[in-house]
């Protein structure tokens, strides 16, 4: 004769073959199913003791809320779209880490897409994310920028930009203080006695380059140094183009004794080309970058640069997006302070 089950626990003793529904949990907990739904979403409207009982039953049953079902009720997918210029970019990877960490902390999943630094592709990816009903979108180093403004009403999806590269103000963005950062670099070099200071920028004329060039010029003017057009050359933000651009500076009858580079990748190429000419950094030419990417402290010599708090910028972008998705007010343009990091790639100017 089979034994009878004499268990008196209100919990679930044996996991069923099918996953319990909210109505099953409500029956076991002897509450309404809306109460179960609120408890599983940590609503303050549910008594703490009741909520704990409901969560215990759900855990014992291995209950997992369906994201699809939840989305049908809330009209939200708990997902965001993230567009980067390229996944191989060290700057973007740090920003992504900050975004993902904050997104996960708030229960959001992140879909990542690569725009390959192509404005048309970037716009297309953003529109595709909107069509897939993500709750919000973040774009790093946007090549479209303010052109998103007419799309906002059409897409009805909140967008936050990180280091917007398009001239003009976007509604919501997180940006480093480009001007003051490059001004600090150039001022550091003038204090070391340099008078022939070059700027190696980005030829595409994006917002960050415009602001950094302005900071470079301000520092020279404050030090009483004339702005010499031949000392301003442009690459494309990558080492290979920097090597070509600095060749022009080294070929001058009176070459610079110091170079302010648009970013650390540019500085990397500049230092390599300088060495190929049999010159030394910083004995012959001081070199400074911008970003403080992971390799900056490991170059030979270690690179003087401007530190961008990349993970923090990612966190700020995600926090701003969460507020927008919740209908809260958010600071439109967040500017993050730049920090000068002095290492061994800059030194006092050599005697003429």
pLDDT digits (tens, 9 = 90+) for 203-238: 887 889 999 999 999 999 999 999 899 999 999 999
Check if 78-176+310-336 and 178-308 are the same fold: yes
Residues 6 or more apart whose CB falls under 8 angstroms from that of 320 comprise 160, 172, 174, 330, 331, 334
Higher pLDDT, 249 or 124: 249
Phi-psi sector, 156: left (phi>0), alpha (psi -120 to 50), beta = left
Rounded to 10 deg, the angle between the 310-325 and 90-105 helix axes is 40
- Beta strands 305-307 and 339-341, pairing class: antiparallel
Phi-psi sector, 235: left (phi>0), alpha (psi -120 to 50), beta = beta
pLDDT digits (tens, 9 = 90+) for 140-186: 988 777 667 676 656 778 889 998 877 666 678 999 999 999 999 99
CATH number assigned to the domain covering 178-308? 3.40.50.2300
**How far is 198 from 186, CA to CA, in rounded Å?**
9
CATH superfamily to which 78-176+310-336 belongs: Response regulator (3.40.50.2300)
Higher pLDDT, 315 or 30: 315
Length of the chain, in residues: 352
Q: What is the pLDDT of residue 19?
A: 58
Q: Percentage of residues in the chain with pLDDT exceeding 90?
A: 55
Domain borders along the chain are: 22-65, 78-176+310-336, 178-308
Q: What is the pLDDT of residue 63?
A: 67
**How far is 95 from 228, CA to CA, in rounded Å?**
35
Mean pLDDT check: name the lowest of 75-79, 198-202, 232-236, 272-276: 75-79
pTM of the model: 0.75
pLDDT digits (tens, 9 = 90+) for 258-307: 999 999 999 999 999 999 999 999 999 999 999 999 999 999 999 999 99
CATH topology of domain 22-65: 434 Repressor (Amino-terminal Domain) (1.10.260)
């Amino acid at each position: 004769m089979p034994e009878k089950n004499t268990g008196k626990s209100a919990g679930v003793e044996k996991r069923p073959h099918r996953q319990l529904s909210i109505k099953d949990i409500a029956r076991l907990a002897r509450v309404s199913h809306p109460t179960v739904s609120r408890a599983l979403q940590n609503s303050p409207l549910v008594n703490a003791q009741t909520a704990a009982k409901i969560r215990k039953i759900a855990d014992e049953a291995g209950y997992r809320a369906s994201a699809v079902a939840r989305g049908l009720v809330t009209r939200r997918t708990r997902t965001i779209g993230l567009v980067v210029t390229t996944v191989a970019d060290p700057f973007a990877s740090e920003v992504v880490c900050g975004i993902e960490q904050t997104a996960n902390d708030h229960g959001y999943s992140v879909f990542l897409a690569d725009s390959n630094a192509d404005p048309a592709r970037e716009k297309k990816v953003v529109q595709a994310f909107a069509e897939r009903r993500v709750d919000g979108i973040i774009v790093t180093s946007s090549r479209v920028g303010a052109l998103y403004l007419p799309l906002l009403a059409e897409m009805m999806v909140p967008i936050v930009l990180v280091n917007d590269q398009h001239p003009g103000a976007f509604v919501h963005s997180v940006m480093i203080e480009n001007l003051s950062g490059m001004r600090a670099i150039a001022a550091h070099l003038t204090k070391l006695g340099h008078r022939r200071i070059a700027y190696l920028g980005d030829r595409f004329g994006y917002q960050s380059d415009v602001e950094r060039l302005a900071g470079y010029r301000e520092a020279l003017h404050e030090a009483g140094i004339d702005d010499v057009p031949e000392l301003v050359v442009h690459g494309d933000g990558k080492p290979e183009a920097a090597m070509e651009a600095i060749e022009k500076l080294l070929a001058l009858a009176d070459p610079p004794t110091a170079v302010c580079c648009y970013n650390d990748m540019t500085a990397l190429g500049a230092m390599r080309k300088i060495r190929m000419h049999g010159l030394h950094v910083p004995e012959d030419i001081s070199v400074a970058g911008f970003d403080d990417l992971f390799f900056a402290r490991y170059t030979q010599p270690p690179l003087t640069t401007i530190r961008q708090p990349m993970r923090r910028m990612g966190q700020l972008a995600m926090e701003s997006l969460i507020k927008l998705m919740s209908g809260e007010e958010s600071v439109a343009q967040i500017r993050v302070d730049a920090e000068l990091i002095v290492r061994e790639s800059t030194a006092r100017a050599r005697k003429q």
